[in-house]
Amino acid sequence: MEPLKIIPLGGLGEFGLNMMLLECGGAAIAIDCGLMFPGADLLGIDLVIPDVSYLLENKQKLKGIVLTHAHEDHIGALPYILKHLSVPIFGTRLTLGLLDNKLREHHLEDTADIREITAGQLWELAPFQLEGIRVTHSLMDCLALAIETPVGTVIHTGDFKIDNTPMEGEMFDFQRFAAYGEKGVLLLLSDSTNVERAGYTPSEREVGTNLEQIFQGSTGKILVSTFSSSIPRIQQVVDISERCGRRVILSGRSMIRNSQIASELGYLRLPRSFMTENERWQELPPERLTFLTTGSQGEPLSVLHRVALDDHKSIKVESGDTVILSSKFIPGNEKTISNLINHLYRRGAEVHYEKVSEIHVSGHASQEELKTMLQLTRPRYFVPIHGEYRHLVRHRRLAQDVGVPEENCFILEDGDVLELSAHSARKINPIQVGRVFVDGKGVGDVEDVVIRDRRHLSEDGMVLAVMAIHQQSGELVAGPDLISRGFVRDEEGEEILEQARKVVLETLSGINREARTDPAELQEEVRKALRRYFRKRLERRPVVLPYIIET
């Protein structure tokens, strides 16, 4: 019997890029295909997606990609991957509805093989048989996956928490998890995002109570910013606005698009009176307006960011208005969000955010819920997923506390390979994985060296040395002219650059005629001389770019 291989292509040791491969013999399935939003160190990069070179090399094995839910870190990379892979995509109705718009943006709606699944449905991708199990999260229509393989049952939780009072009555399916636990689970792959938080994650309904109190105490416009995929949160804001006599205005392309898709599919109840930012809402008094916007993370081009800078074409924040950031601070965005809040306060708004108001709850399980999942499924082997390394370590420790033997708990990172038989599990040689950067229309054409150069330019500036050299004699015809950006202030730069010009002249005089007629050799000598001078004079290392014109 062929062993089963578990291969994370992204999402282990990091947040985002979630993609897990299950491979057995000549067949494989992938679970999720997510992206990551770049941190401040990835200058100019728009998105980060998993490197699927291994999949492309083994594309004949891949039977399909199964999606657990519709968040960007689980579906966002699909449009880029599907340009190179032609395989069926499985997901629930809402997941596929939100994915469809992404596919249209990339002109893939006519070629993508999309197949709808529902919780409780069994389907086969030989030699795997799969069942989606209903879980609760910060979005509707979310699934865990039970996967029958030739060596045993694997359960992949996806993102989950145990919410006993969910917004739409989609209850967490304790019975199916327990049934698989009774039958025997070979391996559990479980969400580790909130493993550092003790107790239970509060229900989404608790947010509604706190939001309503803020609404009742507000006398001006209210702007609520949340993730455009947080359909339950959007529904609560809509319902509270109706009870408070406010009209809802949707603002931001993704907010309008996702809300309309969810409404068309029956997952969101929008009032007939809702409006978009381009309609004539200005005729209404401020105390009757609620804006649902994007930009809770301070994204530079988002609606809320432009409003905070008083740069939006129609929406203005004034004294007496209320702004609610109904989302968590994603790690790495703290400074950007703080700047956003400061700008809003300068406009006179009252701002409610995670640190001062209970206006957000997580969609991920805390420690007691993670223990419940382990107790329901009773796996022989355990692998924590979805989290940075410290989260994986703490989740492994939690599993051991519940009773999974230490030798049966494995920590995997991207590219690691866990090989399982019916009676054993071991890590074998890893595969090569990585990240692919999306920069504008370029996908994968920006490599680490380019990011390093951008970081170098941002930190140390640049000096351009331009000179004209006679092609035959090697004599200096014009220059050298030195131009700097981001290196020294104008008032002090003149003397430094004049000295640098003398360094170039001295360097040219010390080079023989043959070397001066070789532009590549001349560039390298000038670069070395200027870098040496700047390092000695200022202890700085700007990017030095000699530009040689042959005459």
Residue 243 pLDDT greater than 90, yes or no: yes
pLDDT at 430 over 90: yes
Long-range contacts of 510-515 (CB under 8 A, 24+ apart): 513/473, 513/474, 514/474, 515/474
Active-site position among 352, 360, 364, 391: 364
Whether 106 sits among the annotated catalytic residues: the reply is no
If one compares 454 and 345, the residue with the highest pLDDT of the two is 345
pLDDT class of 489 with cuts at 50, 70, 90: low
Whole-angstrom CA distances from 107 to 66, 80, 82, 236 are: 21, 11, 11, 34
Let me know: does 268 contact 259? Beta carbons within 8 Å. yes
pLDDT bucket at 37, cuts 50 / 70 / 90: confident
pLDDT at 356 over 90: no
Instruction: Please report the pLDDT score of residue 448 as a whole number.
Output: 56
Could you report the per-residue pLDDT of 405-429, keeping only the tens digit for each?
Answer: 999 999 999 999 999 999 999 999 9
Mean per-residue pLDDT for 473-496? 75
Give the separation between CA 504 and CA 548, rounded to whole angstroms: 12
Given pLDDT bands bounded at 50, 70 and 90, which one contains residue 444?
very low
484 pLDDT band, cuts 50/70/90, is: confident
- Is residue 440 over pLDDT 80? no
Q: What is the pLDDT of residue 514?
A: 66
Q: Which of 32, 51, 163, 191 is catalytic?
A: 191
* 204-352, CATH topology level: Rossmann fold (3.40.50)
Span 351-376, average pLDDT = 92
Shortest CA distance to 382 belongs to which of 143, 179, 156? Answer: 156
Phi, psi for 76 (deg, rounded to 5): -65, -25
Is 302 a residue whose pLDDT tops 70? yes
All structural domains of the chain with their residue ranges: 4-199+362-443, 204-352, 461-550
**Residue 491, pLDDT score:** 61
Q: What is the pLDDT of residue 452?
A: 56
The pLDDT > 70 percentage for the chain reads 93
Q: Stretch 71-96: mean pLDDT, rounded?
A: 94
pLDDT one-digit tens code per residue, 492-542: 667 788 888 888 888 887 777 766 777 777 788 888 888 888 888 877 778
Cite the DSSP H helix spans in 30-92: 53-57, 72-75, 78-81
In the predicted model, is pLDDT for residue 396 greater than 60?
yes
Cα separation of 431 and 29, whole Å? 17
Of all residues in the chain, the percent with pLDDT exceeding 90 is: 62
pLDDT, the chain, mean: 89
Least confident stretch, 128-137, 176-185, 321-330: 321-330
Over 60: is that where the pLDDT of 44 sits?
A: no
Q: Which residue has the higher pLDDT, 333 or 534?
A: 534
4-199+362-443: in CATH 3.60.15.10: yes
Closest alpha carbon to 385 in 2, 21, 3: 21
Q: What is the CATH number of domain 461-550?
A: 3.10.20.580
Tokens of 321: 């208005």
Judge whether 364 counts as a catalytic residue: yes
